[in-house]
């Protein structure tokens, strides 16, 4: 785990903090200390604030008019600045989120200006000070997140195409944890998926079914029956889909992929998030069953050099 980062903010900025700031910090490797996850009911608020804040390596102060009017926020701010009153250590990171008059101790050169949260340079400044790295700009990482969530919410399958080394797995897990807890993950780099039967077992397990999968050809019958009988469509992430080419037992298995296509396009009982390093259509054989899924959306994640 990376640096422990304490976030001090007004709940009027709750949506931005939880939808944008926290996911980027966590994906970049920070251990985020924040009230909703750390504070307990029935215990003194200020005592909990102090004990949590005391664990932090860095303190992110999210400024807004509401922040400056809040007694608890002022308490956290004063405690953070007391640790580094001359801002020499770099562990107090003021963030101007909403226009307001900053305390005199915070000079213009000291704060991160995220009034426009599409400002890549300011995001880079913030994340660097927190000791985290997404491998991509925060606005681009968040835009990819928003697109994937939008498509999956509409019941559309997505190909997440990743270039270089952005934090793509952290992105998928963030989408699972914060948006779709029912999103099952199957990693084609896992030895359990080497055979067709193993892959189907892992797919069903990820979709909440723990039945014994029979040998071919009844394995496909079991897959189709259990997914088709669900009350709602299953959401499934197939990670490292490029590895299909390495699995001799099913890389050219027309029946397997025709069954998946049927669940996706005809029965509408399966929604896929396919992660790959190339658009997955490029490494499918000609006339492959999955190549006929015309409504598959593509989201690209371009890492930095």
Res 40: pLDDT: 45
Mean pLDDT value of segment 140-168 = 97
Mean pLDDT value of segment 169-173 = 98
pTM here?
0.93
Res 37: pLDDT: 43
Q: Which of 100-109, 130-139, 182-191 has the lowest mean pLDDT?
A: 100-109
In percent, the amount of the chain with pLDDT more than 70 equals 92
Of 199, 192, 148, the closest CA to residue 172 belongs to 148
CA-CA distance, 161 to 198, in Å (whole number)? 25
Res 257: pLDDT: 85
CA-CA distance, 190 to 176, in Å (whole number)? 19
Three-state DSSP at 301 gives strand
Using a 10 angstrom Cβ sphere, with 0-12 exposed, 13-18 middle and 19 or more buried, the burial of residue 25 is buried
Mean pLDDT of the chain: 92
Q: Is a pLDDT exceeding 60 seen at residue 42?
A: no
| 286/130: higher pLDDT | 130
CA-CA distance, 136 to 115, in Å (whole number)? 20
Res 108: pLDDT: 78
DSSP 55: T
| 142/261: higher pLDDT | 142
Mean pLDDT value of segment 189-210 = 96
| 99/37: higher pLDDT | 99
Res 290: pLDDT: 66
State both tokens at 278: 């190339």
Res 47: pLDDT: 74
In percent, the amount of the chain with pLDDT more than 90 equals 78
Res 41: pLDDT: 44
The DSSP element (H or E) to which 123 belongs, if any, is: helix 120-129
Of 82, 61, 58, the closest CA to residue 70 belongs to 61
Tokens 């020499």 -> residue: 88
pLDDT band at 222; cut points 50, 70, 90: very high
Give the model confidence (pLDDT) of 126-148 as tens digits.
Answer: 999 999 999 999 999 999 999 99
The full set of domains in the chain, from first to last, is 4-129 (3.40.50.10140), 138-302 (3.40.50.300)
CA-CA distance, 122 to 51, in Å (whole number)? 30
Q: Is a pLDDT exceeding 80 seen at residue 43?
A: no
pLDDT band at 189; cut points 50, 70, 90: very high
CA-CA distance, 58 to 129, in Å (whole number)? 8
The DSSP element (H or E) to which 205 belongs, if any, is: helix 196-206
For residues 120 and 127, the answer to whether their CB atoms sit within 8 Å is no
Res 39: pLDDT: 47
Q: Is a pLDDT exceeding 70 seen at residue 261?
A: yes
């Amino acid at each position: 785990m990376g640096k422990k980062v304490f976030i001090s903010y007004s709940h009027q900025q709750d949506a931005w903090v939880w939808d944008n700031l926290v996911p980027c910090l966590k994906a970049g490797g920070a251990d985020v200390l924040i009230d909703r996850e750390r504070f307990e009911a029935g215990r003194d608020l200020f005592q909990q604030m102090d004990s949590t804040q005391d664990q932090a390596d860095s303190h992110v102060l999210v400024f807004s008019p509401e922040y400056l009017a809040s007694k608890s926020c002022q308490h956290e701010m004063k405690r953070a600045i007391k640790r580094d009153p001359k801002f020499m250590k770099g562990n107090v990171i003021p963030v101007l989120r909403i226009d307001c008059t900053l305390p005199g101790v915070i000079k213009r050169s000291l704060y991160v200006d995220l009034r426009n949260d599409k400002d890549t340079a300011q995001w880079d400044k913030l994340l660097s000070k927190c000791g985290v790295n997404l491998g991509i700009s925060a606005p681009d990482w968040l835009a990819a997140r928003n697109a994937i969530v939008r498509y999956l919410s509409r019941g559309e399958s997505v190909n997440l195409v990743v270039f270089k080394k952005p934090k793509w797995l952290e992105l998928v897990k963030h989408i699972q944890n914060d948006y779709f807890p029912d999103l099952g993950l199957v990693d084609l780099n896992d030895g359990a998926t080497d055979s067709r039967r193993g892959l189907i077992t892992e797919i069903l397990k990820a979709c909440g079914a723990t039945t014994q999968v029979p040998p071919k050809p009844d394995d496909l019958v079991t897959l189709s029956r259990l997914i088709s009988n669900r009350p709602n469509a299953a959401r499934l992430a197939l990670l490292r889909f490029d590895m299909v080419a390495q699995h001799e037992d099913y890389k050219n298995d027309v029946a397997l992929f025709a069954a998946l296509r049927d669940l996706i396009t005809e029965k509408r009982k399966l929604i896929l998030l396919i992660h790959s390093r190339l658009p997955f259509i490029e490494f499918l054989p000609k006339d492959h069953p999955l190549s006929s899924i015309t409504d598959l959306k593509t989201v690209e994640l371009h890492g930095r050099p």
